[in-house]
Amino acid sequence: MRIAVLALQGAFIEHEEMLRKLGVETFEIRQGDDWQQQKDGLVIPGGESTTQLKLLKDLRLLEPIREAIERGLPVFGTCAGLILLAKKVIDEDFDRISTMDITVCRNAYGRQTGSFYTEAPVKQIDKKIPMTFIRAPYIQSVEGKTEVLATVDRHIVAAREGNQLVTAFHPELNDDLSMHRFFIEQLCKGKTK
């Protein structure tokens, strides 16, 4: 099992550490050529989605990543990663990776004071998990086959559509490995792309 971690900006090292604790090999995508390596999944970290989008375009990674996800490559996007994967972002009418049938509200909790911690149950994991939100988005609605996995204060904060998993919070910033384990076991195992 080898997982690519998009390492252009944001909290990618923390994801690598979580995956290593699960015995999973990781490598970083920093430039176009890195994408050629064999991989069983991709993690898109939190950070700043506008910066990540610009770098993805500059490095000509946007199209190859979109195509790989459309062909079934498992992907886990957290926070900014969730925004990059959304087909619709409220009041922002431009393309990102845009592969997942969700409508997202960016900076939904406010820009400065919108960081908080809570614990909430996640469907299919069947327990409460720690959730750290940092200038987070939430999912306003899911479309198509997308399944809601978690809500906080009636806002959707985790969802899955087939090979795509997203959280509005940062599971890599707490000790609980459940979300990463779920990604590896439910989305990546049995796939070799």
Positions in the binding site for ligand GLN (CB under 6 A): 46-49, 79-80, 83, 106-107, 134-136
Question: Is 134 annotated as a binding-site member?
Answer: yes
What phi and psi values does residue 120 have, to the nearest 5 degrees? -150, 155
The reply to whether 172 belongs to the active site is yes
| In the complex, least distance from residue 106 CB atom to ligand GLN, rounded to whole angstroms | 5
| In the complex, least distance from residue 38 CB atom to ligand GLN, rounded to whole angstroms | 28
Q: How far is CA 32 from CA 4, 37, 104, 134, in A?
A: 13, 10, 28, 29
Catalytic residue among 79, 105, 161, 188: 79
Q: Considering beta carbons, is residue 40 or 179 the nearer one to ligand GLN?
A: 179
The rounded distance, in Å, linking the Cα atoms of 44 and 180 is 12
Containing 118, the helix (H) or strand (E) segment is strand 116-122
Q: Considering beta carbons, is residue 40 or 159 the nearer one to ligand GLN?
A: 159
Catalytic residue among 105, 161, 172, 188: 172
| In the complex, least distance from residue 108 CB atom to ligand GLN, rounded to whole angstroms | 9
Q: Tell how strand 164-167 and strand 155-161 pair up.
A: antiparallel
The reply to whether 70 belongs to the active site is no
CA nearest neighbour of 179 among 48, 68, 42, 15: 15
**b (16+ CB within 10 A) / e for 35-59:** beeebbbbbbbbbebeebbebbeeb
Q: Considering beta carbons, is residue 25 or 90 the nearer one to ligand GLN?
A: 90
Catalytic residue among 16, 170, 180, 188: 170
Give start and end residues of each alpha helix (H) in 86-168: none
| In the complex, least distance from residue 23 CB atom to ligand GLN, rounded to whole angstroms | 26
Q: Considering beta carbons, is residue 1 or 120 the nearer one to ligand GLN?
A: 120
The reply to whether 105 belongs to the active site is no
DSSP states of 66-91 as a string? HHHHHTT--EEEETHHHHHHEEEETT
Question: Is 184 annotated as a binding-site member?
Answer: no
Annotated binding residues for L-glutamine, written as ranges, equal 47-49, 106, 134-135
Catalytic residues: 79, 170, 172
